[in-house]
Chains A and B, each alone.
Chain A
Amino acid sequence: MKMKTKLKSKLSRTFSSNFTNAYQKFTMSHMQENKNLPEAILQNPLSKCKVALVSTAGVHLKSDKPFDVDNPAGDPSFRIIPSDITEQELTVTHIYFDTKFAKTDPSIVFPLHQLKEAAADGKIGRVSEINVGLNGGILDTAIAEKDFIPKVVELFDNEGIDAALLVPG
């Protein structure tokens, strides 16, 4: 991470934690408004569903290329996180929140272990073999919408994923 990015990260984290309302307003002003709500209905009881996790907290495998946080436009790409990994194989690359907590306990941003427990308890059918890590904090989402979101949707379709749980950073 470049020194400039570190400084940006520090300033942004100070801003968002001390001036949460102003941070919200800033983000709101960049957000597109959608009045309609798409609706999909579960096709099976939860106990038969294959469920995937999606996170924008910058979660990825230590063996993966980290998200490019030096790019001022953000990094809209995604990382696949298989369900059979251990938490020790995960790390977090993000500049808009303090990642030290998530590095200590990744389940605060990526509750894969708890999702496996839910499967073991019969609350869901099973955990998807494929889960997705993203890096949030992208104000211009055009590239994500054109390239990456359709790819993830297609991947989930092909994997026969019945439902997705989405966790922010």
Chain B
Amino acid sequence: MLGLYARALEASHIPTAMITLFPEITDKVGAPRTLQVPFKMGRPCGEPFDFETRKRVLDQLIELLTLPSGTRAIYQDKS
């Protein structure tokens, strides 16, 4: 459902960047810009209290907003 929100927002001129745990699924639904992360379901921004990882995830997600629709980024563990 999140991919549908991404598509509707982009169609309404609001760029989006979306975290994905299952890239095959988000590719199929056509989420415009995705950042694939290696984390578990229910922990899309990393483990509890691992704020260093959290910040890296968010920074990479923010950066993705500047890249073209169709970008399939992969989370980089080191910044």
Contacts and interface: CB of A to CB of B under 8 A. Distances in A.
A105 interface: yes
Interface string A87-104: 000000010111101101
Interface string A121-152: 00110000000001010100100110001101
A81 interface: no
Interface in B19-48: 19-22, 24-25, 28-32, 40-48
A40 B13 contact: yes
A17 interface: yes
B41 to A, nearest CB: 5
Nearest to A166: B18
B17 to A, nearest CB: 6
A63 interface: no
Nearest to A102: B42
Given A54-B2, A56-B2, A167 B19 contact: yes
A156 interface: yes
Interface of B: 1-2, 4-22, 24-25, 28-32, 40-49, 51, 54-55, 57-59, 61-62, 65-66, 68-70
Interface of A: 16-17, 24, 27-28, 31-43, 46, 49, 51, 54, 56-57, 76, 94, 96-99, 101-102, 104-105, 107-109, 111, 114-115, 117-118, 123-124, 134, 136, 138, 141, 144-145, 149-150, 152-153, 156-157, 161-169
